[in-house]
């Protein structure tokens, strides 16, 4: 099976860096990056609605590449390689959590913390 190397462009890269609080990517890969919606929302407040929308598009594109099972996917930035299906599922779940987190702050009136916090540009 062929390998496809993916880049993580800006602004999505900055979002991941802001959420890199568990460890460092060079050590723990995607496990170093928290998918906590509160952290994602903090990045979104700083970056603004245009960056959030662009990061959502970048995530959707990245998910499409990872879902294609005709190749393995590697990312130096994320320190992750889909050498088997479990690694692919782990990466897809990670990316989906970010997509959900970004959607929760991008939708008017959406709860970023699941507890009724209003999207930052609607307050």
Q: What is the 3-state secondary structure (H, E, C) of 4-73?
A: EECCCCCCHHHHHHHCECCCCHHHHHHHHECCCHHHHHHHHHHHCHHHHHHHHHHHHHHHHHHHCCCEEE
Q: What is the pLDDT of residue 105?
A: 84
pLDDT digits (tens, 9 = 90+) for 10-28: 999 999 999 999 999 999 9
Q: Sorting pLDDT into bands at 50, 70 and 90, what band is 37? A: very high
Sequence spans of domains, the chain: 2-122
Tens of pLDDT along 46-65? 999 999 999 999 999 999 99
What is this structure's pTM?
0.85
């Amino acid at each position: 099976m062929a390998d496809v190397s993916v880049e993580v462009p800006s602004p999505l890269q900055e979002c991941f860096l802001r959420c890199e609080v568990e460890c460092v990517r060079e050590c723990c890969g995607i496990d170093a990056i928290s998918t906590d919606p509160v952290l994602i929302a903090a990045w979104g407040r700083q970056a603004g609605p245009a960056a959030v929308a662009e990061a959502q598009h970048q995530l959707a594109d990245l998910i499409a590449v990872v879902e294609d099972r005709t190749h393995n996917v590697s990312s130096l930035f994320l320190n992750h390689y889909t050498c088997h299906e479990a690694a692919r599922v782990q990466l897809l779940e990670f990316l989906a959590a970010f997509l959900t987190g970004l959607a929760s702050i991008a939708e008017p009136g959406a709860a970023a913390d699941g507890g009724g916090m209003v999207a930052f540009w609607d307050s």
